[in-house]
A and B are shown apart, each in its own frame.
Chain A
Amino acid sequence: MKYQIAILVENKPGVLTHVSGLISRRAFNIETINAGYTEEDDVTRINIVVNASDNMELNKVIHQMAKLIDVIKIVNISELPSISRELILVKVKADSPGVRADIVNIANIFRAHIVDVGHQNVVIELTGEQDKLAALVDMLGCYEVLEIARTGPVALSRGITPIKNM
């Protein structure tokens, strides 16, 4: 099972390594991980997706992480009503007018944006849920994909309560 977890941590050097080190040491596979600023200057939010066999296994790692002094809050977002998004940038080879038109079409259907065009390539940007991104990548598979960059999903719970107050 894949689980999405949000971790609020002190914005200090080394914390991300601490968290990721602990997860991998306990033999969990981190699918994606990203960290970014939050509404508070000194708090970083780490978003991770991990693979765990079940809730009990997941809770083990959550409890281990909760022990880290720099971890302020940790929440299993998969348990909550939430919105999850991931950003992808795809660079595709487009050296003929026909291919270029195809790709623009595909981008439109996915409501993606063409964010850069060159003589030989285009770059497409798309934000959405993971399966939508996967569908785009699948479609573009018929063309020559030169490069992909993805953020990994980030998620927020629905409703008025921020996870720091949960």
Chain B
Amino acid sequence: MRINGARAVIESLKNEDVEIVFGYPGGAVLTLYDEIYKTKFPHILTKHEQGAVHAADGYARATGKIGVCIATSGPGATNLITGIATANIDSIPLVCITGQVATPFIGRDSFQEADVCGITSPITKHNYLVRDVRELSRVLKEAFFIAGTGRPGPVVIDIAKDVFAAEVDYEYPAEVNLRGYSGKYIGNEKDLDKAVKLLKQAEKPLVFVGGGVVSSGTYISFREFINMLGIPVTSTLMGLGCVEPEQKGNLGMAGMHGSYAANMAIMQCDLLIGIGVRFDDRVTGIMKEFAPKAKIIQFDIDYAEVNKNVVSYLSVIGDLRWSLPLLCKKTKIYAEKIKKNSAQWIDYVIKMHKNNPFSYKKSDNHIMAQEIIEKTAELTENDTIAVTDVGQHQMWAAQFFKVYGPRHFITSGGLGTMGYGLPAAMGAKIGCPDKAVVLFTGDGSIMMNCQEMATLADYDINVKIIVIHNHVLGMVTQWQRMFYGKRYSQSILNSKADIVKIAQAMGIKGIRIDEKTDLIKILKQTLAQQGPALIDVNVPDTEDVLPMVPGGKRLDQMIMESEAANK
């Protein structure tokens, strides 16, 4: 088939079963957009390239497929950076296609030229600059393979303008041939045997689950393992949904804003089994004192994660699709013994969690942020996808929204990107049209990409936005209150901008809730209505997210609600 490079890109996307792309046109990608027009390839035009990349990311997180976005050269491509970095640190598979100036102009500081490969190399799994149309189909094939296999991640393909126009005999490669990368990671079975042996000896085992279980799609094996042994489980922010909310021994999230029981259990356990977690500093507290009494077993696909932050006693390196089913099989015969050994501990931990659940001060006059999240959880189906922005509302959502399955809690974990929520929610809804999608955001975060409300309106994308409006950059004020003598430098918003009117001006419904008595009624009504809508709820401005492990402290040095009340 003799076609031009732009058409070759489209054909390759079809070959990869890409359903939809998110993007924004410009000079360097006009030939590609011309083909999108001619082939009617499904495309969502966002209002900003950052919106496009976060939308592709939300789509990928919700569906497990690879998200695709397109941007033009120079400023278009650099607008993707925050989104690429966000996806990279959370291991989200993306293919980002950017236009580059024509080959004769590369390296001359030409109009709208930026060194995209240079800029994105630290924040991508891999990247390509395509200067020759004959490489295009191979590069696309490789890019999708690399993005989606192994530990997933974003891949950038920077394509020179003249490559889109050049003609080529198109053939899509059947397979990928990369000497330095196989995408398959089968580990050493002996390590698994050692893990089983440690389990048999443990009296206080604890499982610590992370995003790796979500991205490898192994939550069924994972749940089987947990159910079989009844071991208590705690999760990272990225691992929420891997454990059933009602599962006995589910301690919820651990770490800086984790549950009391989760953090105490980490400090007291004698065996900590980390599965698909990277021991990020938000979760460990002071690293040297993390799980001080425990032998740590680390299950991960990535060698580079071993001993990166905390030193593990044993590592089982390999794809969880390999290790988890095998782990189940190998432990089955010892299940009763393991249960018996840890029976006391399990009771103790469950009781500890029951006595110290996530909680908050209730108020007769004010609507509390946590309450909004709890009520929304109650009013929505179990398969609702909750998306968050970044700040206090994000942590409260992690604490109070019941997440029933993986890919149902979508949040920027590693980078903590404000402005992520709205476009990600849009992408999630497009990927999962049959599921309800609710975004929890703050009055700070929503403004960072509020222009995408217009995209919701233009395509009638049914996302419900709940703005937890505390008139401050809440998480910032919390730190300033606790550690900076209540000097609220540049964190009081009290903005004159009317978020409800912004929503309306952008073409979606906007409703404000001031009165406590209105909360349930309006929430219920709005959630039941078709089409995108924003609810702006006023909440007090001095609430803290608790428990909290202050920086540089151990996990058992949490500030609890009762203590905070006395300060």
A69 touches B118 (CB 8 A): no
B307 CB-CB contact with A under 8 Å: yes
A68 touches B304 (CB 8 A): no
Complex CA–CA separation, A66 to B317 (angstroms): 14
B517 CB-CB contact with A under 8 Å: no
A21 is contacted by which of B121, B126, B303, B304 (Cβ under 8 Å)? Answer: B121
Complex CA–CA separation, A69 to B121 (angstroms): 12
Interface string of A83-97 (1 = CB under 8 A from B): 000000000000000
B178 CB-CB contact with A under 8 Å: yes
A22, A64, A69, A72 pick with most chain B CB within 10 angstroms: A69
| Chain A residue, CB-CB nearest to B305 | A63
A111 CB-CB contact with B under 8 Å: no
B302 CB-CB contact with A under 8 Å: yes
Report B-chain residues with C-beta under 8 Å of the C-beta of A70: 126, 180
Report A-chain residues with C-beta under 8 Å of the C-beta of B302: 63, 67
| Chain B residue, CB-CB nearest to A65 | B304
A69 is contacted by which of B117, B126, B129 (Cβ under 8 Å)? Answer: B126
| Chain B residue, CB-CB nearest to A13 | B129
Report A-chain residues with C-beta under 8 Å of the C-beta of B304: 60, 63-64, 66-67
A69 with B125: in contact, given A10-B179, A60-B304, A63-B303 (CB under 8 Å)?
A: yes
B303 is contacted by which of A9, A66, A71 (Cβ under 8 Å)? Answer: A66
B178 touches A69 (CB 8 A): yes
A63 is contacted by which of B117, B146, B306 (Cβ under 8 Å)? Answer: B306
Complex CA–CA separation, A63 to B180 (angstroms): 13
Q: Which of B8-23 contact A (CB under 8 A)?
A: none
Report A-chain residues with C-beta under 8 Å of the C-beta of B126: 68-70
Q: Which of A104-126 contact B (CB under 8 A)?
A: none
Interface residues on B, range: 10 to 19
Complex CA–CA separation, A89 to B549 (angstroms): 58
Complex CA–CA separation, A142 to B359 (angstroms): 76
A98 CB-CB contact with B under 8 Å: no
B307 touches A60 (CB 8 A): yes
Report A-chain residues with C-beta under 8 Å of the C-beta of B27: none
Complex CA–CA separation, A13 to B130 (angstroms): 11
Complex CA–CA separation, A77 to B122 (angstroms): 26
Report B-chain residues with C-beta under 8 Å of the C-beta of A13: 129
A14 touches B178 (CB 8 A): no
Complex CA–CA separation, A17 to B180 (angstroms): 17
A21 with B178: in contact, given A14-B117, A60-B304 (CB under 8 Å)?
A: no
A69 touches B180 (CB 8 A): yes
Q: Which of B160-191 contact A (CB under 8 A)?
A: 178-181
A17 with B118: in contact, given A60-B308, A69-B181 (CB under 8 Å)?
A: yes
A10 is contacted by which of B117, B180, B303, B306 (Cβ under 8 Å)? Answer: B180
A80 CB-CB contact with B under 8 Å: no
Report A-chain residues with C-beta under 8 Å of the C-beta of B178: 69
A149 CB-CB contact with B under 8 Å: no
Q: Which of A18-46 contact B (CB under 8 A)?
A: 18, 21-22, 25
B180 touches A72 (CB 8 A): yes
Q: How far is the CB of A123 from chain B (nearest CB, A)?
A: 34
A68 touches B117 (CB 8 A): no
Interface string of B112-130 (1 = CB under 8 A from A): 0000011001100110010
Q: How far is the CB of A133 from chain B (nearest CB, A)?
A: 33
Report B-chain residues with C-beta under 8 Å of the C-beta of A67: 302-304
Report A-chain residues with C-beta under 8 Å of the C-beta of B179: 10, 72
Q: How far is the CB of B424 from chain A (nearest CB, A)?
A: 26
| Chain B residue, CB-CB nearest to A42 | B179
A56 CB-CB contact with B under 8 Å: yes
Complex CA–CA separation, A63 to B125 (angstroms): 14
Complex CA–CA separation, A44 to B181 (angstroms): 17
A69 with B307: in contact, given A17-B118, A17-B121, A21-B121 (CB under 8 Å)?
A: no
Query: Which residues on A are within 8 Å of B, measured CB to CB?
Result: 9-10, 13-14, 17-18, 21-22, 25, 56, 59-60, 63-64, 66-73
19 contacts between A and B (CB under 8 A): A10-B180, A14-B118, A17-B118, A17-B121, A18-B121, A21-B121, A21-B122, A25-B122, A59-B307, A60-B304, A63-B306, A67-B304, A68-B126, A69-B125, A69-B126, A69-B146, A69-B178, A69-B181, A70-B126
What are the nearest 9 A-B pairs in CB distance? A63-B304, A69-B126, A63-B303, A72-B180, A72-B179, A69-B181, A64-B304, A71-B180, A18-B121
Query: Which residues on B are within 8 Å of A, measured CB to CB?
Result: 117-118, 121-122, 125-126, 129, 146, 178-181, 302-304, 306-308
